[in-house]
């Protein structure tokens, strides 16, 4: 199904195109593949805010020397269960991917493996790295801080990132549990999508300069990027509905990523438009289920839990209760079959980028 | 300041009273001290829902054999960084305390130490165990599942616990960051406090049998314990304001506590009134900051971050931005000086309990 607002693109072709652009910008062959796979994976899973729409920004940063094209993954500190990695401003995807590989190796030998990364860049969907642990039947996790967009409880200045938390946990026959959530009510990427589609922003997602609800994406963008008063609300919203919990989760992520690694935190993380390295902090980890319980029994118990929740009584007008990640697995399956619907402006931005870097564009 | 609604009680006397009651119920000397300290610690920190008001319930369960008075902490699986502990229905406080001690020892030797506990009981405030890591300059964490009170997104049946997450992280001169939050908008203990004080329940905290907002504590209690339709909302509230994130966090806790350890999960966790063991799952852990970064530098960075957030612009009508745990540290200091204000009905329930078990009551 194709309409004038979108172009449907085959996933592998899209991935190959992204990799070609990155290679043209001096990203080594395999590192371009990794980055492209992670970007397209977001679109496959229906998270268009973190998918190929980000490529033009990455390209601009690579062209301007604000991101280093070849990955540097310098280990500054290491134990059998932990790593401190200096990404030296490499592509976020490549560093987080390699760090997660190392965590999985550590967890295979020592049951746990956690890495904290400094001097990083935007990593795309945090869930991707957490999901890398699934093929080893491990629990994976990933967090990253991000540029300031969120107001703390009782504050009006956007000084916190949307700082996502992702966990991936294997089941047996059921889809794995994959929680991948910004610690704000909504991520800024969603606001960009709302702006594109001119959709009103629901009350409770963001506040304006006066602290009143911000009900359109333009206002939110002005607050966070121009006036620096007002912005996204932390998960929970205002104080009365426990927004201080989302604020706390955001701080927790900032501490485990920015403060633990020595990267930037909160107000100091660079925006995608800042003409300098972003210095993002990242935290990834792998947990060997077998350290606690036989993994087969664990996976069976996961299935039973998942089924009991899905079988519970639905609210009026609802016919299904979802487990986290379930919609995304289904979308991925569908998109692999029918192609990925790219919003026309995203498609155009890729076409323009292809011209700019002189890469063939046949999407 | 004393009013007819409350009795102000000295913290150490209150603790001694609780320990005496527990000893009378065959809890060994030191284990009674630990449990009493954790209960009073909640009241000191202003979390009255998890403090000594719980003692009569614990006492009833001890008297009826639904909690074992002497702790059993049977290690079923162990690695240098992990433990699976069978609590064999011991007092939750004692088992979580001992497990956290073991995790700290493991983190001292091996940088990380995590324990998953099965066959546990209610542990009081999760933050207490996380905070045990602070004196070693480590990051502490604690999660526990709990009996079903929370509805999943698109569901109407309360099948999830309020499943709290706690993290304690040291700073240098500033108070440590202590996040201790139920993954629902509000914990049920708060609803009990609201019922006692006849305060209306804010919209967005809970829904009734029809899915409409539940605006008084009696309705919430009826929903979760009697009709089993409607209940507390997960953090974020309904779907539009990202309640599926709180639902996801609740599931995450249930998996790391109940499913990983083999304890009960979601709908199967026993309520405090069920005449049988609760089979609660608990997860505690300690992370050695030095594995990632020199701890002194980390603590300095924490101070800088805390101060920059507190110095940011306040919303209209607000003169202070709080860091998590800050209010509680201040309340504890005040309560140690001036005593703990116990709600009169809580005080009366302790007086009645004292008579019942024949322990001196002079509070």
| CA B148/CA A297 separation, integer angstroms | 23
Q: How do B139-144 and B280-287 pair as beta strands? A: antiparallel
Backbone angles phi, psi at A137, to 5 degrees: 60, 35
Which fold is adopted by the domain A1-70+336-363? Answer: Hypothetical Oxidoreductase Yiak; Chain: A, domain 1 (1.10.1530)
CB distance A301–B267 less than 8 Å? no
Q: Sign (positive/negative) of CA torsion A217, A221, A227, A233?
A: positive
- Two tokens at A226? 């121009």
* Chain-centroid distance, C-alpha A76: 25
Quick one: which H or E segment has residue B82?
A: strand B82-86
Q: Which of A84, A204, A249 sits opposite B241 (nearest CB)?
A: A204
A356–chain B nearest CA distance, Å: 39
> Given CA atoms B310, B311, B315, B320 in this order, what sign does their dihedral have?
positive
For the stretch B280-312, pLDDT in tens is 999 999 999 999 999 999 999 999 999 999 999
Domain B187-231: assigned CATH number = 3.30.60.50
Give me the residue label for tokens 């652009």: A21
Chain A residues whose CB is inside 8 A of the B261 CB are 292-293
Count of Cβ atoms closer than 10 Å to residue A319 Cβ: 7
- Poorest-confidence range of A183-197, B108-122, B149-163? A183-197
Place of tokens 């505690």: B284
CB under 8 Å to A44, separation ≥6 — which residues? Answer: A11, A331, A332, A335, A336, A340
Mean pLDDT score, A290-304: 98
pLDDT value at A1 more than 50? no
pLDDT at position A10: 98
Return the residue in A257, A258, A304, A309 with the most chain B beta carbons within 10 A, the one to mutate for interface testing: A309
Residue B188 to residue B194: CA distance in whole angstroms: 10
Query: Hey, what are B74's tokens?
Result: 């049977």
CB distance A206 to A336 below 8 Å = no
User: Which two structure tokens, joined as six digits, stand for B229?
Assistant: 């339709």
Could you tell me the two tokens for A41?
A: 């994976």
CB contact under 8 A, A318 and B155: yes
List all residues 6 or more positions away from B135 whose beta carbon is below 8 Å from its beta carbon: none
CATH class of B1-70+329-363: mainly alpha
Mutation pick from A112, A139, A243 vs chain B, by most beta carbons of B within 10 Å, is A112
Fold that domain A72-185+233-311 belongs to in CATH: Ribosomal Protein S8; Chain: A, domain 1 (3.30.1370)
Distance from the A14 Cα atom to the nearest Cα atom in chain B, whole angstroms: 30
Prediction ipTM score: 0.97
The per-residue pLDDT for A3 is: 65
Chain A interface test: which of B244, B292, B302 (most A C-beta within 10 Å): B292
Q: In this structure, how many other beta carbons lie within 10 angstroms of the beta carbon of residue B162?
A: 28
Instruction: Name the residue among A179, A248, A259 with its Cβ closest to that of B301.
Output: A259
Chain B residue with the nearest C-alpha to that of A85: B292
Q: Is the pLDDT of residue B134 over 70?
A: yes
CA distance A204 to A242: 12
What is the pairing mode between strands A280-287 and A112-120? antiparallel
| B164: confidence class by pLDDT, cuts 50, 70, 90 | very high
Q: Is the pLDDT of residue A170 over 50?
A: yes
Residue A193: pLDDT band (50, 70, 90) is confident
> Residues B80-84: what's their mean pLDDT?
98
SS3 content of chain A, % helix, strand, coil (to 5): 45, 20, 35
The answer to whether B292 and A84 have CB atoms below 8 angstroms apart is: yes
Q: Contact B201/B216 with Cβ under 8 angstroms?
A: yes
Q: Do B242 and A302 touch (CB under 8 A)?
A: no
Q: Quickly count: other Cβ atoms within 10 Å of residue B109's Cβ.
A: 10
Measure CB to CB from residue A152 to each of B151, B262, B309 and give the nearest one.
B309
| CATH fold of the domain at B71-185+233-311 | Ribosomal Protein S8; Chain: A, domain 1 (3.30.1370)
Pairing mode, strands B82-86 and B112-120 = parallel
**pLDDT above 70 coverage of chain A, percent:** 99
Summarised one tens digit per residue, pLDDT across range A68-81 is 999 999 999 999 99
Structure tokens at B356: 């019942």
For the segment A341-363, what is each residue's pLDDT rounded down to a tens digit? 999 999 999 999 999 999 999 99
d(CA B228, CA B210): 12
Chain B positions touching A302 (Cβ under 8 A) are: 255, 259
Hey, what are A76's tokens? 């500054």
Q: Give which of A141, A147, A187, A149 is closest to A165, Cα–Cα.
A: A141
> What is the residue extent of each domain of chain B?
1-70+329-363, 71-185+233-311, 187-231
Using CB atoms, pick whichever of A242, A248, A267 lies closest to residue B186.
A242
User: Which chain A residues are Cβ-neighbours of B313 within 8 angstroms?
Assistant: 155-157, 229
Nearest partner of A223 among A152, A158, A147, A155, judged by Cα: A158
Kindly state the average pLDDT of the residues B197-206.
92
Name the residue with tokens 């009169």: B344
Residue B1 pLDDT greater than 60, yes or no: no
Q: Does residue B2 have a pLDDT over 70?
A: no
pLDDT of residue A358: 97
Q: How far apart are CA B362 and CA A231, in angstroms?
A: 53
Q: Measured between alpha carbons, how far is A253 from B15 in angstroms, rounded to an integer?
A: 35
**Position B248 pLDDT exceeds 90:** yes
Indicate yes or no: CB of A309 within 8 angstroms of CB of B251.
yes
Taking residues A149-173, report their average pLDDT: 98
- CA B152 to each of CA A167, B143, B219, B225: distance values in angstroms, whole numbers, following the listed order: 18, 19, 18, 16
Q: Which has the closest alpha carbon to B357: B1, B17, B98, B50?
A: B17
* Closest chain B residue to the Cα of A107, Cα to Cα: B81
Cβ within 8 Å, pair A84-B255? no
**Among B112, B244, B251, whose Cβ lies nearest the Cβ of A81?**
B112
In angstroms, the CA A254 to CA B332 distance is 27
Identify the band that residue A311 occupies on the pLDDT scale cut at 50, 70 and 90. Answer: very high
């Amino acid at each position: 199904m194709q309409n004038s607002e979108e172009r449907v693109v085959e996933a592998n072709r899209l991935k190959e195109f992204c990799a070609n652009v990155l290679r043209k910008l001096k990203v080594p062959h395999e590192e371009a593949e990794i980055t492209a796979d992670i970007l397209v994976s977001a679109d496959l899973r229906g998270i268009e805010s973190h998918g190929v729409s980000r490529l033009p920004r990455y390209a601009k940063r690579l062209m301007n020397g604000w991101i280093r094209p070849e990955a540097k993954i310098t280990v500054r500190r290491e134990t059998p269960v932990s790593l401190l990695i200096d990404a030296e401003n490499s592509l976020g995807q490549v560093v987080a991917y390699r760090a997660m590989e190392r965590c999985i190796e550590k967890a295979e030998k020592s049951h746990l493996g956690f890495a904290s990364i400094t001097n990083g860049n935007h990593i795309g969907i945090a869930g991707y790295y957490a999901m890398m642990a699934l093929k080893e039947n491990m629990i994976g996790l990933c967090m990253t801080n991000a540029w300031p967009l969120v107001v703390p409880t009782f504050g009006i200045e956007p000084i916190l990132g949307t700082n996502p938390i992702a966990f991936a946990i294997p089941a047996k026959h059921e889809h794995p549990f994959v929680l991948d959530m910004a610690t704000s009510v909504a991520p800024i990427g969603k606001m960009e999508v709302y702006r594109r589609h001119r959709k009103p922003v629901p009350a409770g997602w963001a506040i304006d300069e006066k602290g009143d609800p911000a009900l359109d994406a333009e206002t939110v963008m002005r607050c966070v990027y121009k006036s620096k008063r007002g912005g996204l609300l932390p998960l929970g919203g205002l104080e009365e509905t426990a927004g201080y919990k989302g604020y706390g989760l955001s701080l927790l992520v900032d501490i485990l990523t920015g403060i633990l690694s020595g990267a930037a935190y909160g107000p100091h993380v660079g925006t995608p438009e800042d003409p300098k390295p972003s210095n993002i902090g990242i935290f990834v980890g792998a947990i060997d289920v077998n350290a606690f319980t036989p993994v087969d029994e664990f996976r069976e118990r996961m299935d039973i839990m998942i089924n009991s929740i899905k079988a519970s009584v639905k609210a009026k007008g609802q016919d299904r209760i979802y487990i986290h990640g379930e919609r995304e697995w289904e979308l991925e399956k569908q998109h692999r079959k029918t192609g990925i619907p790219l919003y026309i402006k995203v498609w155009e931005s890729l076409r323009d980028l292809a011209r700019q870097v002189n890469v063939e564009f046949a999407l």
